Amino acid sequence: MRYFMELQYDGAAYFGWQRQPDVATVQGTIEQKLSMLRRVPTEIVGAGRTDTGVNASFYVAHFDSDTPIECAQLVYKLNKVLPADIAIIRIYEVEATKHARFDAREREYTYLLTPHKAPMRRFSAWHYAVELNVEKMNEAAAMLLRYDDFTSFAKLNSDNKTNICHISHAQWTVESDGTLRFTIRADRFLRNMVRAIVGTLVDVGRGRYSVADFEAIICSRDLSRSSAGAPAVGLFLSDVRY
């Protein structure tokens, strides 16, 4: 039997989602507690990787079991033993062939940037005090939907078989308190891709690049042309769609 698990986590204390030896990861932490409660080694498969320090307000993983599980009870027990920065939302049975990673049609990331000191968002938003032209940033973001090769925003020496991604949405909005929210959706993302895009769009907003420059950076397929990646603190995986 296969079970899907919906969860959220604050990634500040972890070296990303994926299990690694000798360092704390979200996957490794959940597997350890899940195996302890079930008294049998239990591996989980996630919807995708998130990098060191990146958060998830909505994440999906799956695991298999030879025996039926009382889902609500397992959610309760996991939340009792997991650290405060990881929360299980729900667990439910799915078809045995359904896969948390390979069946995902679209993933959504959100990036938060605050132009003023915000104590309540010090662990969830990038404090960037320079005035930004959001209209220009949105003009540039719209260019992302015209292309599918994002080598210019792909981390070097990654194990990607392809740098092709299909972006369906990319937009900045301004919240009532002045926080800038960037939302981007695609069928897949490359390592460090969203942070590199955000960093480069911010440079458009501050006037370092024009919209035409941003398009030229995409077309160049050259990582050295893009800006430094935005800090991990403001980045969230916010949705996975099946």
d(CA 219, CA 150): 8
Q: Residue 184 has which token pair?
A: 């981007």
Q: Residue 26 has which token pair?
A: 């979200």
Contact 71, 91 (CB under 8 A): yes
The three-state secondary structure class of 57 is strand
Exactly one of 51, 159, 213, 222 is catalytic; name it: 51
Contact 1, 65 (CB under 8 A): yes
**What burial class does residue 76 get, using C-beta atoms within 10 Å of its C-beta: 0-12 exposed, 13-18 middle, 19+ buried?**
exposed
Which 8-state DSSP code applies to residue 179?
Answer: -
Residue 7: beta bridge partners?
59, 88
Q: Which of 155, 159, 142 is nearest to 223 (CA)?
A: 155
Backbone angles phi, psi at 196, to 5 degrees: -70, -40
Judging by DSSP bridges, how do beta strands 235-241 and 55-64 pair with one another? parallel
51 carries an active-site annotation: yes
Q: What size, in residues, is the chain?
A: 242
Q: Which residues are catalytic?
A: 51
